[in-house]
């Protein structure tokens, strides 16, 4: 059975007026799978352009990394498969 973990995917959105940081939380089977998702999503969010090429358009998204999440506010994260309806 595959072991699933919760990961925080960190992002930077830079515009000509400022820089914003945000994250999303997703489930993956490995840190490498999470990184592959981040790199692919960066290409998608930037319309297939590199970060430097997209920056010429006034903004860009940059994948900043992943971090496994084991606890939130002192509570252990336990993933349980959702039941099908």
Model confidence, pTM: 0.87
- Residue 85: the pLDDT is 60
Q: Is residue 24 part of a domain?
A: yes
Of the candidates 37, 12, 11, 34, the residue with the CA atom closest to the CA atom of residue 24: 11
Q: Is position 18 within any domain?
A: yes
Q: Is residue 81 part of a domain?
A: no
User: How many domains is the chain partitioned into structurally?
Assistant: 1
- pLDDT for residue 77: 92
pLDDT band at residue 73 under the 50/70/90 scheme: very high
Cα-Cα end-to-end distance for the chain: 22
Instruction: Tell me whether residue 62 is in a domain.
Output: yes
pLDDT at 8: 98
Structural domain boundaries enclosing 26: 5-76
């Amino acid at each position: 059975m595959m072991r699933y973990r919760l990961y925080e995917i960190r992002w930077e959105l830079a515009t000509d007026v400022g820089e914003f940081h945000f994250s999303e939380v997703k489930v993956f089977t490995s840190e490498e799978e999470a990184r592959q998702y981040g790199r692919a999503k960066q290409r998608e969010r930037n319309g297939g352009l590199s970060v430097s090429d997209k920056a010429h358009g006034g903004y860009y998204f940059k994948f900043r990394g992943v971090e496994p999440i084991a606890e939130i506010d002192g509570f252990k994260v336990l993933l349980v498969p959702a039941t099908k309806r």
